[in-house]
Amino acid sequence: MTRPNLVFIMSDDHASHAISAYGSRINTTPHLDRIADGGMRLDAAFCTNSICAPSRAAILTGTYNHVNGVTTLDTHLDNSLWTFPKALQADGWQTAMFGKWHLGHGAAHDPTGFDNWRVLPGQGHYHNPVFVESDGSGGTSIVERGGYVTDLITDDCLDWLDARDPDRPFALFCHHKAPHRTWEPDAKHFTMYDDVDIAFPDTFRDDLAGRADVVQAVRMRMLDLDPVTDLKATVPPGLSVDEEIDWRYQRYIKDYLRVVASIDDNVGRMLDWLDANGLAENTIVVYTSDQGFFLGDHGWFDKRLMYEESLSMPLLIRYPAQIAAGSVSDDVVVNVDFGPTLLDMMGVEAAEHVQGRSFADVLHGRTPDDWPESMYYRYWMHDDDAHGVPAHYGVRTKTHKLICYYNDPLGQPGANGPADPVEWELFDLVADPVEVDNMWGRPGTERITAELRTELSRLQAAVGDEPYPTDD
């Protein structure tokens, strides 16, 4: 078997519905679309916990967060754990990681499994960022650089590719900071969209009626954006509340899309390099993001909740030797599956304990008969000061979603008040794909509710997570 190369590009908070290959109504991404056109677009790729560090840990380790220990933003990756880049390195691949790591720093948390790495400390900065890099002998050093973060990370990737040993395969991890909050564009895209209004999502005016009380209380509305750091402007005087909400959306979404445009340009540079070096045929190219994002959907920004816009990950994979150009799949895959899948395609064994399952057959257009039709989700953080999103777990099938806001499992007060009662949401994704009609408790839903609760328990047991009391 030939040993393919891997270019794994992951951005931070890039929602599928801001990619034209996924039918975006608000922007175009011609270079990301090149990956989709030459490979497969996966329409049902989901994160198992919609928040940065936990999703990154799930991808690298092939395990759920209760197993890899990175359940929240405050937990760091134990870098002695098995990861799929380590498996590639051990089997002879040249490996490197550039960009956002966000899984902790220091001897116990720095990147491992990479011959070379240079990463942003914590969240990093958009302009003139500082990086931390391996000094090659177990220590680290700080690098100060002028320029724009998405360009610099790409520069590092291309420099490393140019300097690699051409006789050995490579696996390159390009992890962009963008388009994470606070959405700071570069000079090239600074005035993009100045003269246009961006379309509002259909659910922008969602009043959240009928949704769980804790969902109605989350602090991710347009009015929760910080005018100074998020919107970089002073709210114009004299606006009505609705006018201010609209104004805030335009400020927010334009900067988000400008930052995405830079990612798209830089993905183009990577693809051009592969073409120019004759490596497009034998290189697996992946584009994904650690989770989705609300782009004004339901009136929100940010992620965390199990709603579709946040749960869905963009996932585009091109590998001409194995994947038909322009193919599309709606099979359910999760971030825990990414590592085992890539190893499978590259002819490398995953560790025995890995929980993810290879979806290489899905990429080949041959979905196995026993392929899962549901997925398990759990968001562990509870009622943090900034966003106020409650802890919850749930199940998504091809047609329905059941979410349990179990809130604090120990009955302790959250950061912002007393312990909340357990609440549930039930959505019919066929009749109500935008999730505005919570059917929980409605007459006639007893049977589907029972089926979904059984499936939720089955999945919790299958991944080894603990059920919590849910006294509905």
List of residues contacting Ca ion (CB under 5 A): 12-13, 52, 290
- For Ca ion, give the closer residue by CB, 180 or 298: 180
The distance of closest approach from Cβ of residue 466 to Ca ion in the complex, given in angstroms and rounded to an integer, is 26
DSSP state of 390: P
Which is closer to Ca ion, CB of 38 or CB of 179? Answer: 179
Q: Is the dihedral of CA 102, 103, 105, 107 positive or negative?
A: negative
Q: Are 303 and 294 in contact (CB under 8 A)?
A: yes
CB-based closest residue to Ca ion:
52
DSSP 351: P
Please give the structure tokens belonging to residue 71: 């359940």
Q: How far is the CB of 209 from Ca ion (least distance, A)?
A: 29
The residue (of 13 and 455) whose beta carbon lies closer to Ca ion is 13
Compute the least distance from the CB of residue 392 to Ca ion, in Å. 18
Q: How far is the CB of 51 from Ca ion (least distance, A)?
A: 7
What Cα–Cα distance (Å) separates residue 390 from each residue in 2, 293, 401, 407, 422? 47, 17, 17, 6, 10
Q: Which residue has the tokens 């922007």?
A: 27
Quote the least distance from Cβ 13 to Ca ion, whole Å. Answer: 4
The residue (of 175 and 357) whose beta carbon lies closer to Ca ion is 175
Q: Which of 374, 467, 468, 350 is nearest to 429 (CA)?
A: 374
Using the minimum distance from each CB to Ca ion, give the nearer residue, 15 or 280. 15
296/287 Cα distance (integer angstroms): 23
Burial class (CB within 10 angstroms; exposed 0-12, middle 13-18, buried 19+) of 279? middle
Nearer to Ca ion, 291 or 460 (CB): 291
The answer for residues whose C-beta is within 8 angstroms of residue 373's C-beta and 6 or more apart is 332, 397, 398
Per the CB < 8 A criterion, the answer to whether 220 and 302 are in contact is: yes
Q: How far apart are CA 387 and CA 347, in angstroms?
A: 42
**Shortest reach from residue 202's CB to Ca ion, in Å:** 24
**Residue 161 in tokens:** 């590719």
Closest contact distance (angstroms) between CB of 243 and Ca ion is 30
**Segment (H or E) for 45:** strand 45-46
Residue closer to Ca ion (CB basis): 175 or 400: 175
| Residue-wise DSSP of 290-327 | SS---SSGGGB-S--SSSHHHHB--EEEE-TTTS-TTE
Closer residue to Ca ion (CB): 12 or 255: 12
**Which of helix, strand or coil describes residue 379?**
strand
Relative to beta strand 130-134, strand 116-120 is antiparallel
Q: How far is CA 168 from CA 229, 278, 285, in A?
A: 45, 15, 17
Taking the complex as a whole, the smallest distance from the CB of residue 317 to Ca ion amounts, in Å, to 20
Residue 282 C-beta: closest distance to Ca ion, Å: 30
Which residues, other chains included, contact 307 with Cβ-Cβ below 8 Å and sequence gap of 6+?
294, 297, 298, 435
Least distance to Ca ion, CB of residue 314, Å: 12
Residues 6+ apart with CB under 8 A from 466: 66, 460
Q: Which residue in the block uniquely carries the two structure tokens 């997570």?
A: 465
DSSP class of residue 185 equals -
| Shorter beta-carbon distance to Ca ion: residue 12 or 455 | 12
How near is the Cβ of 166 to Ca ion at its closest, in Å?
A: 34
- Taking the complex as a whole, the smallest distance from the CB of residue 255 to Ca ion amounts, in Å, to 16
Give whichever of 51 and 245 is closer to Ca ion, judged by the CB atom: 51
CB of 16 closer than 8 Å to CB of 292: yes
Decide whether 10 or 271 has the Cβ nearer to Ca ion.
10
Tokens of 469: 């009391």
Nearest to Ca ion of 293, 427 (CB atom): 293
